[in-house]
Chain A
Amino acid sequence: MKIICPSCGNHRKFLIPLWVRCTFKFNEDGTISILHVKQLESLEDKITDQGKTSFTITCKECGADAEVILNEYEELETQKRQNMALEDL
């Protein structure tokens, strides 16, 4: 799997928004303390759904929508298969 930014070419760091359930308490002085944070969304689902419904993963460098390539070798395999078919003929 590969994630790239079509805008600036970055392929290293990206930002993904995640919904979390936060348990907190009110202190005596009125301030808030966080007790626990639980992830509510599946990261895998978000990555595989990128671009299908909406774009959520963004480039950390330029903020553009990122592109997720799930099988980066798919094109190579197709080419290889086509070559083999031609050789067989």
Chain B
Amino acid sequence: MKLICVHCGNYTYFEVDIETVKEISTNAEGIIVKNAFFADLDYTEETLRENLNDIVEYVLKQNGSDMLYDPETETYYNRHIRCARCGSKKVTPPIIKKHCQLPLEEEIQKHREEFNLLRKERKDHENNLPILWQP
């Protein structure tokens, strides 16, 4: 689950407004609108997918901190993504309880043996490298 609608609980279907690029050309009959191609690349489709991924990644990265406050309804809303089921803008990444983490020092102590083995492995690898030149 990456995003959830606070209003209806939907966590699958969402909507977003994004900008894409189309190609237009004119002839005697009128305007022809189609996808823009550069060689074999469908630039329209590529832009659409990239912009969609960018905005979803951005919302996930912000983790709800870019939600805007609406004083009328006294709620927070997402300015980019809305729920495709109920149309609500109250879409946010779900709050996931963080695992109880050890203090850093304790965590390092706990994994010391594993790290020593790793360092030894690296040293062994370095010692076994072929000798390319000797004075």
Contacts and interface: CB of A to CB of B under 8 A. Distances in A.
Interface of A: 1-3, 11-26, 30, 32, 34-35, 37, 40, 43, 47, 57, 60
Contact of B24 (A14, A35, A37): A14
B76 interface: no
Interface residues of B, number: 28
A57 to B, nearest CB: 7
B48 A1 contact: no
A15 B23 contact: yes
B53 interface: yes
Given A32-B53, A37-B48, A43-B31, A22 B18 contact: yes
10 contacts: A1-B31, A15-B21, A16-B24, A20-B19, A20-B20, A24-B13, A25-B84, A26-B11, A37-B48, A40-B17
